[in-house]
Chain A
Amino acid sequence: EVQLVESGGDLVQPGGSLRLSCAASGFTLDSYWMTWVRQAPGKGLEWVANIKQDGGVKHYVDSVRGRFTISRDNAKNSLYLQMNNLGADDTAIYYCARGRIQHDYWGQGTLVTVSS
């Protein structure tokens, strides 16, 4: 059974950092692009970043480029999102999803709250 389980969400002060993890199981991680998507409270879905199978290609939404870094460790079946210089606008549920565009599997999400 394919499963994606996010972790690492927390309450963090403005300007702080956080690292999210996504543990993958039930499939071979290195066969798929992987993606982070977020959803602010009461708002729509927002694509955040994606990463190619070997980690050699990464793309980011403009609002996080330079602050967030997506990475993966295929040997550990894990996807990561390092988030620096966090602001209130980054408050959201963060989902990891399998694939580049068509995401057939999603995690349950992890909540990141940026507040003083």
Chain B
Amino acid sequence: SYELTQPPSVSVSPGQTARITCSGDALPKKYACWYQQKSGQAPVLVIYEDSKRPSGIPERFSGSSSGTVATLTISGAQVEDEADYYCYSTDSSETSVAFGGGTKLTVL
């Protein structure tokens, strides 16, 4: 099975920039998505195709990808951005899909 690796936790103060990384061997060839999940809720798509933002997602959320690492950046993080964030992508053959282990973002 395919594997994506994320840091378990990231902590920033309100207004600071939070960056969450995701490593995977197929990321140079395959797009990554990012999901936000708050406690007790279903996940919400915040970034797709590495850097595109769905409608309704604040502009402070952005994504990028370089080589084997995709990055979710939250510029000027807010307290309401506290959540678990998961990257998600497919292997090079597109037969296996995986979530990263998740990163708990703390904003305080």
Q: Which residues of A contact B (CB under 8 A)?
A: 35, 37, 44-47, 50, 59, 61-63, 95, 100-104, 106-109
Contacts and interface: CB of A to CB of B under 8 A. Distances in A.
Interface stretch (B12-20, B41-49, B65-73, B75-83): B41-49
6 A-B pairs with the lowest CB-CB distances in the bound complex, closest first: A102-B48, A44-B102, A106-B42, A47-B97, A45-B99, A62-B1
A37 B99 CA distance: 10
A106 B36 CA distance: 12
B98 A47 contact: yes
15 contacts: A35-B97, A37-B43, A44-B86, A44-B100, A44-B102, A45-B35, A59-B95, A62-B1, A101-B89, A102-B48, A102-B49, A103-B35, A103-B43, A104-B54, A106-B42
B42 A108 contact: yes
Measured as residues with beta carbon below 8 angstroms from the partner, the interface class of chain B is 20 to 34
Contacts of A50: 97
Q: Which of A35, A95, A102, A109 is packed against the most chain B CB atoms within 10 Å?
A: A102
Given A44-B99, A50-B97, A61-B96, A103 B45 contact: yes
Given A44-B101, A102-B49, A109 B33 contact: no
B102 A45 contact: yes
Is the contact region of chain A dominated by helix, strand, or loop, or is it mixed? loop
Interface of B: 1, 31, 33, 35, 37, 42-43, 45, 48-49, 54, 84, 86, 88-90, 95-102
Given A45-B37, A45-B86, A59 B97 contact: yes
Given A45-B37, A61-B1, A109-B42, A101 B102 contact: no
A106 to B, nearest CB: 4
B38 to A, nearest CB: 13
A106 B49 CA distance: 18
A108 B42 CA distance: 6
